[in-house]
Amino acid sequence: MMLTVKNLAVAYDGIDALRGIDLTVAAGELVALIGPNGAGKSTLLNALSGVVRPRSGSISFAGRSLSRTAPHRISRLGLLQVPEGRQILADLTVDENLLLGQLALGARKQRHDLASVRALFPILAERRRQLAGSLSGGQQQMLAIGRALMGAPDMLLLDEPSLGLAPMICTQVFDALRRLNADGLTILLVEQNATRALASTTRAYVLEQGRIVHTGASADLAADGRIIAHYLGTETPDLQKERDLT
């Protein structure tokens, strides 16, 4: 297993945010973690990347326990997070942002360079000298993923990559993730957009109120009546539109 989470619990000021989380991701898998707003998806990702300390339970990555490891050391081990809201450095150019990603390499070998990232996202080649802050939301998301790739991840954690993106751009981003996965990159994808996440992944976990309530093959979950009722079918078109705008 590349990532094994056992009986993980996280609490903020004594209030449980996550309880009894068991989750595994094998090398080469593309796994989705879906669930409604406030279910604890981002908390789980932040526990994996060391930003949040778990109250109990264990996390191991490539056979190493991560329970007491600082965030920057976790990144240097090859478990890289693409944070929610992209968080590129607006005052630096596209290329400077990408080169920044190499800081996470530590002693590990480079796997992507500027050329291979540009091949994956051609728009980043076109905009190479532009300030990152002047890119559109979708381009910034591509830049954030490209920057993470420069750090040679063995496993990528993505927090809501579809957030605020137009459907067409979203498709491009998910296509790129599938291509990266086909090339051997292990990915854990956190998404509120369940339809899209289940369509792009092989396996999924459903998180609700800090617990994993369903797990299985993405195709099965997408066909499951209960899941459809809970996460896919209950949204009115207006709500969907509102989220696309935020």
Residues of the shown chain interacting with another protein in the complex, contacts defined by CB under 8 A: 46, 49-51, 70-76, 80-83, 87, 89, 91-93, 96, 100-101, 103-106, 127, 129-131, 134, 147-148, 151
Query: Please, which residue, 94 or 197, has the CB nearer to another protein?
Result: 94
- Least gap, CB of 170 to another protein (angstroms): 22
- Least gap, CB of 199 to another protein (angstroms): 27
Query: Please, which residue, 134 or 136, has the CB nearer to another protein?
Result: 134
75-85 CB burial, b ≥16 within 10 A, e <16: bbbbbbbbbbe
The number of angstroms, rounded, from the C-alpha of 71 to the middle of its chain's C-alpha atoms is: 16
Using the 8-state DSSP alphabet, how is residue 93 labeled? B
- Least gap, CB of 150 to another protein (angstroms): 9
Query: Please, which residue, 71 or 233, has the CB nearer to another protein?
Result: 71
User: Are residues 98 and 147 in contact, defined by beta-carbon separation less than 8 angstroms?
Assistant: yes
Q: Find, among 75, 6, 81, 8, the residue nearest to 46 by Cα.
A: 81
Helix axes 167-182, 137-149, angle to 10 degrees: 10
User: Are residues 160 and 119 in contact, defined by beta-carbon separation less than 8 angstroms?
Assistant: no
Whole-angstrom CA distances from 228 to 73, 192, 200, 225 are 39, 14, 16, 5
- Least gap, CB of 231 to another protein (angstroms): 27
- Least gap, CB of 77 to another protein (angstroms): 9
User: Are residues 119 and 182 in contact, defined by beta-carbon separation less than 8 angstroms?
Assistant: no
